[in-house]
């Protein structure tokens, strides 16, 4: 049976390998869409460089190109979106 739509994973673990030590779940991605787009959800006063670095790390580990960083703690939701790309 053919399925249509998006394949969405919530709280998907990403492995981490550092100096021969491997952790099956080193990081957890909030939302992973079609194994291509990472969505990281925040509710903070302002997005800053550490949030951007977090999404970039997830993109590199998952070999994905596109991420969305969304902050729900804004007056207008459209002001809380940030597009993050990995080597585009």
Task: Flag whether 19 is in a domain.
Answer: yes
Q: How many residues are there in the chain?
A: 88
CA distance 6 to 53: 26
When divided into structural domains, the chain yields a total of 1
Name which of 33, 35, 28 is nearest 58 in CA terms.
Answer: 28
CA distance 68 to 51: 11
Task: Flag whether 25 is in a domain.
Answer: yes
Percent residues over pLDDT 90 in the chain: 62
Residues of the domain holding 45: 8-85
Encode pLDDT of 23-32 as tens digits.
Answer: 777 788 999 9
Whether the model clears a pTM of 0.85, i.e. scores above it, the answer is: no
CA distance 27 to 19: 17
Task: Flag whether 2 is in a domain.
Answer: no
Encode pLDDT of 7-40 as tens digits.
Answer: 999 988 888 777 777 777 778 899 999 989 999 9
């Amino acid at each position: 049976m053919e399925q249509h739509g998006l394949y969405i994973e919530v709280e998907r673990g990403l492995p981490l390998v550092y100096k021969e030590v491997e952790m099956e779940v080193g990081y957890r991605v909030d939302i992973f869409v079609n194994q291509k787009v990472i969505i990281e959800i925040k509710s903070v006063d302002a997005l800053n460089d550490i949030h951007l670095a977090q999404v970039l790390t997830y993109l590199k580990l998952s070999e994905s190109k596109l991420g969305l960083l969304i902050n729900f703690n804004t007056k207008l939701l459209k002001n809380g979106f940030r597009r993050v790309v990995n080597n585009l």
